[in-house]
Amino acid sequence: MTELALPTAADVDAAARVLAPVAVRTRLISSPALDALTGGRIFLKPEVLQRTGSFKFRGAYNKLSSIPEAARKAGVVAFSSGNHAQGVAAAAQLLGMPAAIVMPSDAPVSKIERTKSYGAEVIPYDRDKEDRDAIARNLAAERGATVVPPYDDPFVIAGQGTVGREIAEDFAALGVAPDIVSAPASGGGLMAGIALATKAKFPKAGLITVEPHGFDDHARSFAAGHREPHRAIGRTICDALMASIPGEITFAVNQANGVQGVTATDDEVAKAVAFAFRELKLVVEPGGAVALAALLAGHIDAKGKTVAIVLSGGNVDADLYARLIQ
């Protein structure tokens, strides 16, 4: 096996400089309602307000910016259920690069349409019968394009790490040290980046990934000490969090930083989406609300602690959202 090229906190700092002119600086917000419910001091990182409606723009733009000028004309190819797709499409549009995105045919219509709106070509596939990675890599080989992975890439992870860098900066400005930082996990790129940035400034902070119940590959892997796939059959309303196994790079980073994993049920996630609408006045998609769901359900013990929860995305179809908030 070749040694993995793992990103560092310095790579996150470099990504922050790349992203400064284009990404939204989402500030931590507090919620007295959450404090009262949990007995802790809760802060939310509203990446629903990020460009394209999720944190994924950060990693996508950082990765595309790293592509040499000579290779940019051939464009990029990505595979995603929606948020990475939009992030790559928007980054490609800003940088003047062609983009083709392999998306599951059952992805939320809003995510497909928004991806197209950034000028990207969308190539549908059957997530139960076809291999999106193989489709994307074959297409990239035909076109001479660069593949932009959704999570297992040092530049993508470093870009996502700017979420954690901003969290750490905001806590430092408040003169407060976080006890826990929690975020949703699919392939693990968001938490890997957060781990690098957070541990650099707050080495004692606990880090917790949250996944949909059954889609618990991170929780299983952390417990086992090596990468393990989940055993889920079927679907979850958290369409953005259905990766089958943690990434090699992301798991190595997360394991080295002592990340732990918990899960939340679809019913708990639905309640969190409704809570965000009712109490926070924020539109959060199910996958983006899973860490909030774990907090509200008590799977993250916040009593007497300072906790940061990442609301990672807000791209949800109107009909599903209407059902969830009712």
Active-site choice (45, 54, 56, 271): 56
Residue indicated by tokens 């400089």: 17
For residue 44, what are the β-bridge partners?
A: 29, 309
CB atoms within 10 A of CB 134: 12
Type of residue found at 273: V
Annotation says 56 is catalytic: yes
Q: Assess whether 312 carries a catalytic annotation.
A: yes
Cα 180 from chain centre: 17
SS3 97: coil
State the SS3 of 12-36.
HHHHHHHHCCCCCCCCCEECHHHHH
Please give the backbone phi and psi of residue 308, each rounded to the nearest 5 degrees, phi first. Answer: -110, 130
Distance CA(50)–CA(314), nearest Å, equals 9
Say whether 290 sits in a helix, a strand or coil: helix
Here the tokens at position 10 are: 């310095």
- CA-nearest of 180, 175, 173 to 43 is 180
Specify whether the CB–CB gap between 254 and 220 falls below 8 A. Answer: no
CB burial class (10 A; 0-12, 13-18, 19+) of residue 49?
A: middle
The vertex-115 CA angle with 264 and 187, nearest 5°, equals 35
Residues annotated as part of the active site: 56, 312
